[in-house]
Amino acid sequence: MKNTTALQGRPSSFITAPYYKDTAGILRAVIPDVGVCRGQDSQSCRLSIHFRRERKTGPCFSVTVVLCKSHNKTFTIYPPGHVPYGRCPIAPVAPDGSLLRMPLPAPANSTQVDAGKGCFASLLLRAQAFSGTIFDAALDAAQGKTWRRADSLTSSEHCGDGCWTTQCRRIESTARLLGIHPLLSIEEQLKAAEALSVPALLLTESARNLALSGGCFACGKAVVQVLAEMPQRTSIADRLMQSGYIVSLWQEPLRWDPRRGLLLLRKPFHPPGTRAPPSIH
């Protein structure tokens, strides 16, 4: 498998917050009390809506750009399950963060990397909860389905352009996101397993197998096995965002919790052997 382009540097954090419909039915973000510029000096953040930005990809509604008047900084509020520059959601969650689909029970022996045909069908059924996300590419590949070739004019129902090169690129990205890309270090795999709440052995053995017999179809099946093992709870978007940060796909994710009035930093997940970092007020 090829190496996936990783984030160079990590210049800043990004914030996700729930989006709710107003009285006119327009989705609007809950504005945090603090921004990504918090703590850079003694001044408290003073946030206001700067403008609403249309996007050709990602959420099918305008996202809110916020201005911090104290630090003269602007930043985007992303809905749950979306990341900067992302063309598709990474998790099956609604704009308010709730799950879009009811989870299925985890199948028996789901941690076996070399699952039999019957067991794999059960894994695939559970993994279908991630349809409509960046994982569509892997879900299709696991079933032997290829997206259209670049010279085809056939329209696609997938996120993005739906061509074969896009499918392969997204499979590579999701393999990295789930900690099974063979070029990831053991430390990254272990931390990804912690974030995703899946057995570390599943990730390390999947990565080893893909190093020996890689390819889009094999990688798609490996992705399905990890998705089927993940706990399908409301924390699923946070878990995937934290894993993506661990493997350097994007910046550090911050989540605004309007109920508690806290900007949560890498919580509730943290690498083994370390203490959870504090919340930011």
pLDDT tens by residue, 46-76: 999 999 998 777 788 999 999 999 999 999 9
Can you list the pairs that 5-8 forms with residues at least 24 positions away whose Cβ atoms lie under 8 Å? 6/176, 6/247, 6/248, 6/249, 7/248, 7/249, 7/250, 7/251
pLDDT tens by residue, 125-157: 999 999 999 999 999 999 999 998 755 444 445
pLDDT of amino acid 39:
82
pLDDT tens by residue, 150-199: 554 444 455 655 799 999 999 999 999 999 999 999 999 999 999 999 99
pLDDT of amino acid 239:
95
Closest CA to 83 of 178, 10, 20, 14: 14
Task: State what percent of residues in the chain have pLDDT above 90.
Answer: 64
Higher pLDDT, residue 115 or 210:
210
Per-residue pLDDT at 260 exceeds 50:
yes
What's this model's pTM, rounded to 2 decimal places? Answer: 0.83
pLDDT tens by residue, 96-127: 999 997 666 655 555 544 555 568 888 999 99
pLDDT of amino acid 221:
95
Q: What is the mean pLDDT of residues 228-239?
A: 90
Q: How confident is the model at residue 1 (pLDDT cuts 50, 70, 90)?
A: low
pLDDT of amino acid 132:
93
Of 69-73, 123-127, 251-255, 259-263, the one with minimum mean pLDDT is 259-263
**Cα 76 to Cα 82: distance, rounded to the nearest angstrom:** 11
**Cα 45 to Cα 33: distance, rounded to the nearest angstrom:** 7
